[in-house]
């Protein structure tokens, strides 16, 4: 009986640790808002930490573990390449990756 209780406790502990390690990467458009938050996120500066954490918390994650600028080539199928629909101008085609963890 003690062995089965110990196994059950171990299984619950493993399940809890796996759930707490759940993380997800969100790709968001880097849009100039006039406040400079987008630049902080895109450059990975410390000033973007609060914005990244708020973004994660709004999606029911506890914290942001990383944030950085992402090249459009890294985002599969999200950005058209070439042709008349090609994006141009400031902030066009710029993305930020925010890694959130539960």
Q: Which domain holds residue 32?
A: 19-77+89-101
Q: What is the pTM of this model?
A: 0.62
Task: Calculate mean pLDDT across residues 17-31.
Answer: 76
- Structural domain count, the chain: 1
Beta carbons of 24 and 100 less than 8 angstroms apart: yes
Tens-place pLDDT, residues 36-85: 667 777 777 788 888 899 899 999 999 999 988 888 778 776 555 555 55
In a domain, 33, yes or no: yes
Task: Calculate mean pLDDT across residues 14-19.
Answer: 52
In a domain, 2, yes or no: no
Residues 6+ apart with CB under 8 A from 73: none
pLDDT at residue 9 is higher than 70: no
Give the pairing type, strands 95-101 and 63-70. Answer: antiparallel
In a domain, 1, yes or no: no
In a domain, 4, yes or no: no
pLDDT at residue 34 is higher than 70: no
């Amino acid at each position: 009986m003690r062995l089965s209780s110990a196994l059950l406790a171990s299984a619950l502990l493993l399940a809890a640790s796996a759930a707490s390690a759940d993380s997800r990467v969100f790709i968001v458009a880097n849009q100039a808002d006039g406040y400079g938050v987008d630049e902080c996120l895109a450059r990975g500066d410390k000033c973007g930490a609060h914005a990244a954490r708020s973004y994660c918390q709004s999606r029911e994650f506890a914290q942001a573990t990383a944030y950085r600028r992402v090249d459009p080539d890294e985002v599969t199928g999200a950005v058209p390449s070439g042709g008349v629909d090609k994006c141009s101008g400031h902030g066009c085609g710029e993305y930020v990756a925010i890694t959130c963890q539960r």
